[in-house]
Amino acid sequence: MAERYFTPQEVGALIPALAGVMEGVMRAHAEATEARERLHAERERIARAGGGVLDRAAWRAESERVARLTERIQAGLQEIGRLGGTPKDLGLGLVDFPHLRDGRVVHLCWRHGERDVRWWHGLDEGYAARKPL
């Protein structure tokens, strides 16, 4: 059971703050993903070559960048949680909020870029099953 159930209007009032936080989370997530892919590619290159020279300073800098970005992501996700939302997809910028609809608990579903909440889905459904309010 949720501690609180939101109305579409209540979530709508949160959107300006939510959009700013989610934008930062999405940007940091994309940057961290790219950095992790570069580190992975470098690791693969060295493994395929049977060893090799590693630029330790560059590796350390990239690893530290991933750590900083991860901290930014975690802080943003905590802020979304404090607002009452549950982040669902960082690539799409999806956030769900508990809502009572016709006597049952469902999720109001907001996607980054939407100006208001117009969608909901059941607890056992996701973004693909969104239904209009």
pLDDT digits (tens, 9 = 90+) for 79-126: 999 999 999 999 999 999 999 999 999 999 999 999 999 999 999 998
Q: What are phi and psi of 88, to 5 degrees?
A: -120, -40
Q: What are phi and psi of 132, to 5 degrees?
A: -70, 145
Q: Please tell me the distance from the alpha carbon of residue 14 to that of residue 42, in angstroms, as a whole number.
A: 42
Residue 122 pairs in a beta bridge with 106
On whether residue 76 sits in a domain, the answer given is yes
Q: Please tell me the distance from the alpha carbon of residue 15 to that of residue 100, in angstroms, as a whole number.
A: 19
On whether residue 3 sits in a domain, the answer given is no
**pTM, full prediction:** 0.86
Longest CA–CA span in the chain (Å) reads 63
On whether residue 117 sits in a domain, the answer given is yes
On whether residue 2 sits in a domain, the answer given is no
On whether residue 113 sits in a domain, the answer given is yes
On whether residue 99 sits in a domain, the answer given is yes
Instruction: Give the count of domains, the chain.
Output: 1
Task: Provide the domain limits for residue 88.
Answer: 8-132
